Structure 1
């Protein structure tokens, strides 16, 4: 479970670095919008970005939900589905998501 959490943490960081560059990524991924604004401008984009991540990097699980803001910020910055797919593939291409699946191991990381 802890290895899967570490995988999620490092994957999000590396994907952000690939998309935005290592100098800008931390601030973009952690940006908090004012309370009067929605989390994300394009909800379809958010769903697509999460699906791309889970396809390449494995299930977010309950632990990974903490990155929903980072995914929303990726959409709010106008990152395309193709760019997200490419970044996820580059970061997680060799990751065996079934190995750490909560459905197989019976936990929710």
Structure 2
């Protein structure tokens, strides 16, 4: 139950961050868009690392399960989202971080 709860928390947090950054209609589209073959997943790898760390600061560790959201973070970077925007959206989306063994807070796992 704790593992499923953590997974739902991560998924719901990402959906809400997408909606906060891009709006109710465009948010889900940005989260799931895929670039054409031959293009890199992300143009700025430093941006990707920064946005993931920023999300984790406010929402807790993504853990291994949360790696499935890397394309969404890449899409945020490709759309020009900055660290400050990510921090604001993450703070609004993740008012309280659950502390369970699956959150990886105690073990220090991180994306």
Q: Give TM-score scaled by structure 1 length.
A: 0.88
RMSD across aligned positions (CA): 1.5
Query: Equivalent of 1:14, from 7, 16, 34?
Result: 16
Q: In structure 2, what is the equivalent of residue 26 of structure 1?
A: 28
Q: Is the 8 A contact 2:61 2:105 kept in 1?
A: no
Deviating beyond 2 angstroms after TM superposition, the runs of 4 or more aligned structure 1 residues are 98-105
Rounded to whole Å, the distance in 2 between the matches of 1:18 and 1:103 is 25
Higher helix share: 1
Q: In structure 1, what is the equivalent of residue 4 of structure 2?
A: 2
Change (3 A) 1:29 1:103: closer
Q: Note the residue ranges of structure 2 that are not aligned, 5 or more in a row.
A: none
Aligned length: 104
Q: Note the residue ranges of structure 1 that are not aligned, 5 or more in a row.
A: none
Rounded to whole Å, the distance in 2 between the matches of 1:27 and 1:39 is 16
Q: Give TM-score scaled by structure 2 length.
A: 0.87
